[in-house]
Amino acid sequence: MRSLYVWLSRLIALGVVVQVLVIAWSAFDIINKAGDGVPFTEDSEANAGAVVHSAVGMMVIPVLALLFGIVSFFARVRGGVALAWAVVGLVVLQIALAFASFGAPVVGMLHALNAFAIAGVAGMAGARANRPETPVAAAPVGDPGVPAGA
């Protein structure tokens, strides 16, 4: 389960990278078509980058996040449950920010910033799961490496 936890964290972080790539594709596609005199309206031909961004953001990443949260209960990663469910919460916030951004486009900046938080927390969770969990032992009494009186 621990390895599944790590792989889910990586897939979520990779999903954020894919999201950044396809939304850039979408934006530049709109600009390119506008430069050719093609106005972008809701009735326009579907923008492929926006379609992929919506599909990955509304279906793929939320499913991965929920699986991550469930797996966290069985992975035995110190602090792993909290980190996984923080990712789930950030994904829920991400979807809410996306819908809010249609009414107030400036909120889109928070949507972008939150995406980095999702990738960061997911990456931190995976890194924590990869660390060996060895307890730190106290220095034995009379250890020659410890100065007297310390």
Q: Which tops the pLDDT comparison, 143 or 128?
A: 128
Q: Tell me how long the chain is.
A: 150
The answer to whether 12 and 61 have CB atoms below 8 angstroms apart is yes
As a whole number, the mean pLDDT across the chain is 89
pLDDT over threshold 60, residue 28: yes
Q: Which tops the pLDDT comparison, 110 or 34?
A: 110
Instruction: Indicate the pLDDT class of residue 7, thresholds 50, 70 and 90.
Output: very high
Residues 6+ apart with CB under 8 A from 71: 1, 4, 5, 8, 84
Domain assignment present for residue 31? The answer is: yes
pTM above threshold 0.85: no
Domain assignment present for residue 142? The answer is: no
* Number of domains making up the chain: 1
CA torsion 92→85→71→80, rounded to 10°?
A: 150
pLDDT at 96: 98
Domain assignment present for residue 138? The answer is: no
pLDDT over threshold 90, residue 128: yes
Residue 59 tokens, joined: 């279906």
pLDDT at 69: 97
Q: Which domain holds residue 100?
A: 2-37+47-130
Express each pLDDT in 110-120 by its tens digit: 999 999 999 99
Domain assignment present for residue 137? The answer is: no
